Chain A
Amino acid sequence: MAIEVHVVSKASGGLKIINHIPPERPCRLEGRNGIGKSALVRLLLLISGVQPYPGEPALWQSLRKLVGETEITITGLSSKHSSATVRLTPDAWPDERPPESIGNWLGVLTLDGQEMPAQRLFELLDVVHLTGTERLIDTLKQQSGRLAVDLSDVADRLNALEAQRAELGELADQLHLISPREADSERQRSEQVAAERRQVEADLHAAQPVAEDLSRAAALTALVETGDAAEHQRRLQKLREALQVARQRLETAEANHDDAIAALGKGTAAQREVAKRERRLGAIGKAMERLLARQEQLGARLESLQIPIDVDVLNAVQQAALDNAFGPALERQRRLQVQAARNYRTQAENRLLDDVRVVLDDAVEAGLGSTILAQVNSQEITVTDLRGGLGFLAEVGDHEVEELATVTRDLAELTELRELFAQRAALQEEDAQLRLDLQRLEPEAAMHDELRRKAAEARSAQDAANAEVRSYLLQIGAMSRSALGGDDIIDVEAHIRELLAKHDVDAATLPTALFDAQAKVRDLQKRDEDLEVAAERLSASAVRRRVQRETLRRRSESDESLKWLSQLAAVLTPVIGKAAASIEWPDETWQRLADHVAASRSALLDLVRDVSGLKTLAPQLPSGTGRLASAIKSVIEADALAELSAEPIAKALFDEGNVRRVDLDEQSITWTTPAGETRTRPLAAFSSGDQALGFIRARLQQIVDRPSANRLVFLDEFGAFISADRRRPLADLLTSEELRTLAEQVVVVLPLQSDYASELGQTTGALHEVYERRARAVEDHGYFAEVFIG
Chain B
Amino acid sequence: MSNAEQTLRLLRELERLDHEAGSDEASSSGAQVTAAALLEALVESDFNLTAAIVGVRNGD
Contacts and interface: CB of A to CB of B under 8 A. Distances in A.
Given A149-B3, A168-B49, A635-B9, A599 B14 contact: no
Contacts of A635: 6, 9-10, 13
Given A599-B29, A627-B17, A564 B53 contact: yes
Contact of A596 (B2, B3, B33): B33
Contact of A598 (B6, B31, B52): B31
B17 A165 contact: no
Contact of A100 (B2, B13, B58): B2
A385 B58 CA distance: 48
Contacts of A628: 14
A165 B49 contact: yes
B18 to A, nearest CB: 7
A183 B29 CA distance: 15
Contacts of B2: 100, 150
A627 B53 CA distance: 26
Interface in B5-33: 6-7, 9-11, 13-14, 17-18, 21, 27, 29-33
- Greatest chain A CB density within 10 A among B2, B3, B18, B32 is at B3
A630 B17 contact: yes
Contacts of A634: 13, 17
A150 B58 contact: no
A33 interface: no
Contact of B54 (A147, A181, A567, A611): A567
Given A153-B3, A564-B50, A568-B54, A627 B14 contact: yes
Contacts, number: 111
A603 B47 contact: no
A754 interface: no
Nearest to B6: A150
A671 to B, nearest CB: 23
B56 to A, nearest CB: 6
Interface string A47-67: 000000000000000000000
Interface in A556-608: 564, 567-568, 571, 591-592, 594-600, 602-604, 606-607
Contacts of B29: 181, 591, 594-595, 598-599
A604 B31 contact: no
A193 interface: no
A564 B55 CA distance: 10
User: In this complex, which of A149, A157, A603 has the most chain B Cβ atoms within 10 angstroms of its Cβ?
Assistant: A603
A181 B27 CA distance: 14
Sort A-B residue pairs by CB-CB distance and give the 9 closest, nearest first: A595-B31, A595-B29, A607-B35, A150-B3, A564-B50, A150-B6, A153-B3, A631-B13, A603-B33
Interface of A: 100, 146-147, 149-151, 153-154, 157, 160-161, 164-165, 168, 181, 564, 567-568, 571, 591-592, 594-600, 602-604, 606-607, 610-611, 614, 627-628, 630-632, 634-635
Given A627-B18, A631-B13, 11 more contacts: A150-B7, A153-B4, A564-B51, A564-B53, A567-B54, A591-B29, A594-B29, A627-B21, A630-B13, A631-B17, A635-B6
Interface of B: 2-4, 6-7, 9-11, 13-14, 17-18, 21, 27, 29-35, 37-39, 42, 47, 49-54, 56, 58, 60
